[in-house]
Structure 1
Amino acid sequence: MNILVTGSSGWLGQTLVPRLARDGHKVVGLDPEPGATTSVVGSVVDRGLVRRVIRDEGITAIVHAAARHKPHIETHDNSEFVAVNVQGTLNLLEEAVAPGSAVDRFVFTSTTSLMISQEIRDGKAGGAEKAVWIDETMAPLRPRNIYGVTKLAAEELCRLFNHLHKLPVLVLRTSRFFPEEDDMAHAIVQSGENTKANEFLFRRLSVEDAAEAHVVALAKAKAVGFDTFIVSAPTPFTRDDCHDLITDAPAVVARLFPEYRTLYGRRGWTMFDTIDRIYDAGKAERVLGFRCRTDFAVILAGLR
């Protein structure tokens, strides 16, 4: 395939572009920031540029990973989010289905963040009695910031173009895989490394697994047609654990992984007192046959 990867200089793009190239695909990276994995410097907001790249490079598949992300809320205004996350997505979709285009599949990198309402974000402090079990059936979706709102709008554009033009589109709602620390109350207590290890229980994946999910999605897009998938490390928890995860998360983790306290203790690490949400990535495994390789058990094996 001739694959256009947007956001190619980003954390995901730096891993995905060489991964696709290893499979023998021609990969064209598009990003406003120059980088080793970017061959075209520019923005998806530039409709003319998008058109030229798709036409001139004979693009047959698109992975749209470019976006304004949650950390940009502090540095960019709302119109920038709309321009990049919504208009940029529309530009790509319209050019993908334009006369003469060879594009026959589209993978959109979305986010689990759009599934988190303010009520879920408040968690135990807001009076929640149990952790929220999150899968693709959750509705209605009430994103709590401009990042989530624009990513949800972009998802709807993807759905619409599949409906109107039969363009195969898979939407991947990835959980956290970025290296930076997020705006987490937990991070006040836990170090960044400790925090990320904990999150593999319920809301994190490695960037390598994120890239592999996109590889699988590209391969399966035409057979599936359209669908949305949560992509996250498989959780060891079940719905029956949700009450105890709010009240005493370390006890639940110790029941499932008896040695975790010893392994954590050697590093001076601790577990979150409470876990307020669990992302269920089971649908991606059932439909796409994709399962993240790195989970909490793998993290513990590394500590061991």
Structure 2
Amino acid sequence: MRVLLTGSSGWLGRFLAPRLREAGHSVTGLDVAPGIDTDVIGSVADRACVERLFAEHCFDAVIHGGALHKPDIVRYPRQAFIDVNVSGTLHLLEAAVAHGASRFIFTSTTSLMISAAIRAGTANEAVWIDESLAPLEPRNIYGITKLAAEQMCRLIHAEHGLPVLILRTGRFFPEDDDTHRAPDGENMKANELLHRRLTVEDAADAHVLALERAPEIGFGTFILSAPTPFTRADCAALKTDATAVIARIFPDAPALYAARGWSLPERIDRVYDAGRAERVLGFRCRTGFAEQLAALRDQSPSPVTHDPTYLSPKEAG
């Protein structure tokens, strides 16, 4: 298929574009910043640019991974989020319909499911988060605009029948967390594989599969995260003594962490359940907390990339 990939210079794009080509697709990368897999420098907020690309390439499919993200809140005004995340998505959806594209994959975020209350962690137990969570009350302009874009995807599918799959990805960024500093980045990323993270490689593989399955499924929203070892029955204990829950499931985890100088989480306030992606989409992340522990046992590199120097290409100039 002829695929338009937005955000092709970004962290996901640099892993996704080669996988798409390996699967036999012809990929045109669109990004505001140059990159090895970016063919066109431009913004999805520029309707004329989007329409020109569709007219020139007659895309069969769109994978819309380009966006302003949560760290961009301190860099850009709210209007920029609306222009890129909302209007840009609309431009792509309408062009896809007008030019007869057969499918549309939208990279969304689990962040839009986290209200201020969930973020504050005031509940008596960990919040179990799956696609049925409601009402959705995003706590910042990033989440608000991604949710609005999701709703436009739903509307266009309902009105025109365009197959659309929405992938709400957990964390897979390589840089340090922009709000938390303890534990350190690599330790934190390893911990997050328990309940809210996936590797960028798994995120890319999920998009390739979604591209294949979209016409068959028609429309769907899927959380993407490493398979959690927890169950709903663990939620109360996770909020009071997560370390004990982890040790019960992975008896050697405390010793492996201690040998590395890492700390297991004392409390976990939310758990992402990616079960629907496995049941309906047929996707399960290859890498989870068990694989992280295996790397510690073997003294091999962590399966999760940690790069505290990483800077988005659009900010790197």
TM-score by length of 2: 0.93
2:163 aligned with 1:168: yes
Shift of 1:54: 1.4
> CA-to-partner distance for each residue in 1:188-215, whole Å, 9 max, x for gaps?
2x11100000000000000000000001
Shift of 1:52: 1.3
Shift of 1:248: 0.5
| Greater Cα offset, 53-62 or 206-215 | 53-62
| CA distance, structure 2, for counterparts of residue 117 and residue 182 of structure 1 | 18
Corresponding residue of 1:26: 26
Corresponding residue of 1:77: 77
Report 1:274-293 matches (<5 A): 274-293=267-286
Letter in 1 for 2:151: E
> CA-to-partner distance for each residue in 1:205-236, whole Å, 9 max, x for gaps?
00000000001100110001111000000000
What SS does structure 1 have at the residue aligned with 2:3?
Answer: strand
Contact 2:168 2:223 in 1 (8 A): yes
Corresponding residue of 2:109: 111
Shift of 1:110: 0.1
> CA-to-partner distance for each residue in 1:21-58, whole Å, 9 max, x for gaps?
11111000000000101001100011111111112112
Corresponding residue of 2:308: none
Shift of 1:61: 0.3
2:293 aligned with 1:295: no
| CA distance, structure 1, for counterparts of residue 178 and residue 274 of structure 2 | 23
What SS does structure 2 have at the residue aligned with 1:93?
Answer: helix
| CA distance, structure 2, for counterparts of residue 64 and residue 202 of structure 1 | 25
| CA distance, structure 2, for counterparts of residue 105 and residue 182 of structure 1 | 33
Corresponding residue of 1:146: 141
| CA distance, structure 2, for counterparts of residue 146 and residue 102 of structure 1 | 32
Identity level (%): 61
Corresponding residue of 1:193: 186
Q: Match for 1:225 among 212, 218, 222?
A: 218
Report 1:42-191 matches (<5 A): 42-98=42-98, 101-123=99-121, 126=122, 128-185=123-180, 187-188=181-182, 190-191=183-184
Contact 2:177 2:185 in 1 (8 A): no
| CA distance, structure 2, for counterparts of residue 239 and residue 149 of structure 1 | 28
What SS does structure 2 have at the residue aligned with 1:229?
Answer: strand
Aligned-pair Cα RMSD in Å: 0.7
2:6 aligned with 1:6: yes
Letter in 2 for 1:207: V
Shift of 1:184: 4.4
Corresponding residue of 2:255: 262
Letter in 1 for 2:133: M
Alignment: residue pair count: 297
TM-score by length of 1: 0.97
2:47 aligned with 1:41: no
| CA distance, structure 2, for counterparts of residue 300 and residue 56 of structure 1 | 49
What SS does structure 2 have at the residue aligned with 1:27?
Answer: strand
The runs of at least 4 aligned residues of structure 1 exceeding 4 Å deviation read none
Letter in 2 for 1:111: T
Letter in 2 for 1:113: S
Shift of 1:13: 0.3
Report 1:202-221 matches (<5 A): 202-221=195-214
Letter in 2 for 1:108: F
| CA distance, structure 1, for counterparts of residue 46 and residue 228 of structure 2 | 40
Letter in 2 for 1:28: T
Letter in 2 for 1:54: F
> For structure 1, which runs of at least 5 residues remain unmatched after alignment?
none
Shift of 1:121: 0.4
2:269 aligned with 1:271: no
Contact 2:9 2:31 in 1 (8 A): yes
Letter in 2 for 1:107: I
Letter in 2 for 1:292: C
| CA distance, structure 2, for counterparts of residue 57 and residue 15 of structure 1 | 22
| CA distance, structure 1, for counterparts of residue 211 and residue 185 of structure 2 | 32
| CA distance, structure 2, for counterparts of residue 24 and residue 280 of structure 1 | 31
> CA-to-partner distance for each residue in 1:75-123, whole Å, 9 max, x for gaps?
111000000000000000111111xx13110000000000000000000
